[in-house]
Structure 1
């Protein structure tokens, strides 16, 4: 007797970098998807962003951004210690004026 197979499970193979406000303007796109083979660090995501968008505008803007990993704020600690799993979204939010 055969068992019906359940829905196939999608294997995530990308990490999405999403840019807001001035970061979007500097990058010239709303987001990028980066292929990954497993978990990477936030430092690697930033390296890939800077490689995809060379130039001082993106580097300067990303350097002052607050970062969300999914819906969690990432502290200003060591980006090499923050693990980003495949399927995750990293949000780059530059400082906003006003309240």
Structure 2
């Protein structure tokens, strides 16, 4: 297990109630599940995460399964919800 930072942008920031938080996880799937579990009874973040794109250490995750995206010590996960405009 490694630790790093999750950064939330736009609607994800609003749903999370914070601009960033730390993670302790091995994979992106574990980090996102912990973020959801940290907000019991509030599914706003879960709904935003379902529609979001992710960067891990500045690299797009794309369509890769989140359980196969391994995190690095001190890494950064960026949560990018859909943006209007261009």
So what's the TM-score if we normalise by structure 2? 0.89
Q: Specify the structure having the higher radius of gyration (Cα).
A: 1
SS at 1:33 equivalent: strand
What are the ranges of 5 or more consecutive residues in structure 2 without an aligned counterpart? none
CA distance 1:34–1:21, change in 2 (3 Å): same
Runs of 4+ more than 4 Å apart? none
Q: Which structure 2 residues correspond to residues 19-34 of structure 1 after superposition, within 5 A?
A: 19-34=8-23
What are the ranges of 5 or more consecutive residues in structure 1 without an aligned counterpart? 1-12
2:65 matched residue in structure 1: 78
So what's the TM-score if we normalise by structure 1? 0.78
Alignment RMSD (CA, Å): 1.3
Q: How many residues align?
A: 84
